[in-house]
Amino acid sequence: MRLVPIALFASLLCISPLWADTPENPDIEKLSQALRIETISHDDPANRNMAAFNEFHDFLKASFPRVHAELERERVGDYSLLYHWPGRQQTSLPVLLTAHMDVVPVREGDVWAWDQPPFSGAIAGDRIYGRGAFDNKIQVITLLGAAERLLAEGYQPPTDVYFAFGHDEELGGGAGARAMAKHLATRVGRFSFVLDEGGGVLEGTLLGDIPGYIGLIGIAEKGEVNLTLRSSAQPGFSHSSSPGPNTPVTRLARALVRLADNPFDAKLTAATSALLDHMGAVMTGLDGVALRNRWLFQSVVRNRLASRPASNAMIRTTMVPTMISGSTKANSIPEIAEANVNIRILPGDTIESVVAHVTRAIDDPAIEISVKQHLQPRNPRPASDTGSRPYQALARLARTQFPDATFISPWLITGGTDARHYRVLSDHVFGFTPVHLTAEQLQGPHGIGEWVTTQNVEEAGHFYRQLFLGLEAFLRDPVSE
């Protein structure tokens, strides 16, 4: 018999379940508490509880007293938080570290499929459960935790450090990260580098027959656009007993099939080419041979990458219908049938080229195609230079902190992060979540059963501590910018 009802009762009382282990690292308990605060980004503004963000702000202030006593804190965009940690000198460009406080909703029907209630923050064994555990409260807590302990030791960074914690990353970051980026552009100007979520130290089998773990540092990010496809009825055909040959639903269905039959061409970006070089150096068998000789086995490599959803997303602009609407009555032909198509744009493509491709593929002037502007369409984020001082320092730190990683490689972030808004502040924008991640863990964010391990909290906190202590290796002279 499952213990979910007991855990739910415990979460309602805002206490840890009785079977929870007592954590030694204070950040473990703080993350558990943070997960109990429902900072949910609902698509519908009417469903958003912004009081939860005020509660989260108060929680951070109580949990990290030295940070809030010694660092300047501002509220930006009403609910996002910007911290300023003054450095010893101003001869180097400042540094920006970012994360987000908001989480995606939990579907009502999924609650009972979780091993622990999604907003319980339950600590069971070596796992900490909760919506937002990995995406992305672990980084908020461990960043502040590392700063809190270094402040207690009297540490001051060599240059100014800023923390930017957005409140609407799951909605596109328009009111949070974008507002903070605009504020920082006016107040500070340029930054030495920006480090956000993304990547991590993943099981090598996620990308193929690779031994151990692989470290992935995001250097670029796909764009996104949502298109509405609309098909309208011809006058006089509204009852299902006498349908015409082209109802809105059949015409729309035909359009969606044409999109599925006409995918975007596969292309290798600089980030993916670098990753394939690393993979080829360690993979054995025919896959290793093909990767090391891509000039000869281009089609083989392309087909192998296309066979897995994760790697297929790295080599092409992807399209998928996510919402379809039609009639509200079983025996009535709808006057309008609509579909939302979510498109993730590979670097090299643009919103304009995507719309042109969709229009050509559907080849039906009766299908209206429009961009959903309110969902903040964006072009891909350009790649950051892997030969730069900040990237090289970040890769060295990752290799040192994760010696079990077979390799550390650049990576194309196939999802969306707040980092895209900060590209105006620096040419060196990276995404790296400094924890080991299993294939099982990666199913949780935005899904069922999100969790991190107590070891994840330990390793993230230690990584940020070492980053701060070795910050000089990352910095660049303002003149070089």
Determine the Cα–Cα distance for residues 163 and 96; give it in Å rounded to an integer.
6
- Residue positions counted in the chain: 481
The torsion defined by the Cα of 442, 280, 411 and 380, in degrees rounded to 10, comes to -110
Q: What are 79's two structure tokens?
A: 């609910």
* Residue 168 main-chain phi, psi, to 5 deg: -140, 35
* Residue 72 main-chain phi, psi, to 5 deg: -75, 135
Contact partners, residue 330, CB within 8 Å, separation at least 6 = 240
Which residues lie across from 321 on neighbouring strands? 341
AA letter at 187:
R
Q: What are 82's two structure tokens?
A: 């910007």
The torsion defined by the Cα of 133, 308, 227 and 340, in degrees rounded to 10, comes to -70
The one catalytic residue among 102, 349, 450, 459: 102
Q: What are 66's two structure tokens?
A: 């030295």
Closest CA to 278 of 385, 204, 381: 204
DSSP letters for 257-285: HHHHHSPPPP---HHHHHHHHHHHHH--H
AA letter at 311:
S
The answer to whether the beta carbons of residues 345 and 264 sit under 8 Å apart is: no
The answer to whether the beta carbons of residues 470 and 397 sit under 8 Å apart is: yes
The torsion defined by the Cα of 35, 39, 42 and 45, in degrees rounded to 10, comes to 170
- Determine if residue 253 is left, alpha or beta; phi over 0 gives left, psi from -120 to 50 gives alpha, anything else beta: alpha
102 carries an active-site annotation: yes
Structure-token match 């919103």, residue found? 351
Contact partners, residue 182, CB within 8 Å, separation at least 6 = none
Closest CA to 197 of 183, 216, 214, 181: 216
169 carries an active-site annotation: yes
The one catalytic residue among 169, 197, 221, 459: 169
- For the chain, the C-alpha Rg in angstroms (whole number) is 24
Closest CA to 345 of 307, 313, 375: 313
The answer to whether the beta carbons of residues 359 and 369 sit under 8 Å apart is: yes
Determine the Cα–Cα distance for residues 278 and 214; give it in Å rounded to an integer.
10
Catalytic residues: 102, 169
